[in-house]
Amino acid sequence: MNEKNLSSISDSEWEVMRIVWTLGETHTKQILKELRAKKDWSDSTIKTLIRRLVQKGWLTAKHEGRRYTYTATVSQTDMMYNEAKTLLNRMCDMHKGEVILKLLKDSPISKGDLMKMQEEISQKEKTAPNMVPCNCLKNGSTIC
């Protein structure tokens, strides 16, 4: 049941999700408040985004009186990971390492995560190839 046929999430929608993830179960008022502080969007815009997120199945709307209470249907890390994966999927295998390295450099990372990475890398090193071939062409060049 985790594989609903969800469409992807857009930039602005993502911004709304962040609020919901952080606040947990919440309602329009709160979302409006938080987004007013972060973004220069009209309330109308924000309401549209919420509506679309519900339509798309990323938010659940529980009717309470005339209001709604919203909850995210996916965890933030799942969503983050999926988006990241989708992105890497369009990219050439050969250069993924380089890109991940750059992300690593540019992102703030906790000691704990760094240690896990350390470990993962040690594991991978055992069987890592000297070079990952390019997969940009159906058949042909292994270098790009």
Partner DNA sequence: TCCTTTCGTTTACAAATGTAATCATATAAC
Partner DNA sequence: GTTATATGATTACATTTGTAAACGAAAGGA
Tell me how far apart the alpha carbons of residues 20 and 31 are, in angstroms, rounded to a whole number. 7
Type of residue numbered 116: K
Residue from 7, 55, 57, 144 binding a copy of itself (CB under 8 A): 144
Binding partner of residue 132 among DNA, a copy of itself, none, CB cut-off 5 to 8 Å per kind: a copy of itself
**b vs e for 12-23, b when ≥16 Cβ sit within 10 Å of the residue's Cβ?**
bbebbbbbbbeb
Nearer of residues 42 and 81 to a copy of itself, judged by Cβ: 81
Nearest-10 crossing angle of helices 28-38, 43-56 = 120
Site residues for DNA, window 64-93 (CB under 7 A)?
A: 65-68
Residues 6+ apart with CB under 8 A from 83: 8, 9
Task: Please give the residues from 87 up to 106 whose contact with a copy of itself meets the rule CB under 8 A.
Answer: 87-88, 90-93, 95-106
Residue 15 in contact with residue 35, Cβ under 8 Å? yes
Pick one of a copy of itself, DNA, none as the site partner of residue 92 (Cβ within 5 to 8 A by kind).
Answer: a copy of itself
Give the x/- contact pattern for DNA in 11-30, rule: CB under 7 A. xxx-------------xxx-
Count of residues that bind a copy of itself according to CB under 8 A: 66
